[in-house]
Structure 1
Amino acid sequence: MNHPHPRKDTAHAHQPPALHLDVRRTGTDRHLITVQGTLDLHTARQLADTLQSLLRADGHSVVLDLSGVTFLDSSGLTCLIAAYRTARTTGARLALVAPSQPVRHMLSLTGVDQVLHSYPAPDAVPHWPAG
């Protein structure tokens, strides 16, 4: 007789939310960060650390692919706003690519979509001059 394995399901339900980042250099001064998973209180620091180190480098552009983000809360939003402020201070560039529906909703609800520009695909993001 087959018995369901509730322990397996229960164990999976209690795992902390996961955030996966893939960072790729796509030019001499340009990086693409692909974000997948939940961007919240438990995971925002991971993205913030990555973003801040790239944006503090002279003249870097960071393209942030948010198509795989399944949830965004105020901590995740704060991370994006802090990255925008760092970019403005350092002269770096930050662009969002293909924000998922939960991300678009939060950006629109808070008005952040008026400040952080989004593009449909990485190829659609303009290549800004260095510096």
Structure 2
Amino acid sequence: MLIGARPSLDQTHTGSGGVFQASSVPLVGSAGISGYTIANPAIWFEFLGSDPDFSTEDNKAYVAMSTTHLTINKDTYSHIYSTNVTRLTQPVPRGKLDLTCNIGSADDCVATFTLTFNGGTVVTGEALGSDVLEEK
């Protein structure tokens, strides 16, 4: 974990899109955690990125997904960082959600977080939020 890097909540980045905490310390590096939720069913997602400076430790990106509320704070950051999870799957009605992440190495610190819905062969109007035409 980054010594001296303490994420702090920036209220200007809260809202329906999520919450973001980040920290940057000169000669130590930067780290951040972001959280989002979707409804029906309610599922919480958290994304973590870490870019240590002047260290043999490489960049890190990890994920968390839960059907119970996840709070963004230092304890959550520490837990996600220590579990080293880069891929999760959550069953949902009519399919499953897959959450993955990866991050570049050294100075290429671009983290990519991908959430994919994998459903069955039948897509319903309820899932799409509109009517689905039947094939004949």
Normalized against structure 2, the TM-score is what?
Answer: 0.28
Is the helix fraction higher in 1 or 2? 1
Task: Report which of the two structures shows the higher radius of gyration computed on alpha carbons.
Answer: 2
Higher RCO (CA-CA < 8 Å; seq separation 6+): 1
Normalized against structure 1, the TM-score is what?
Answer: 0.29
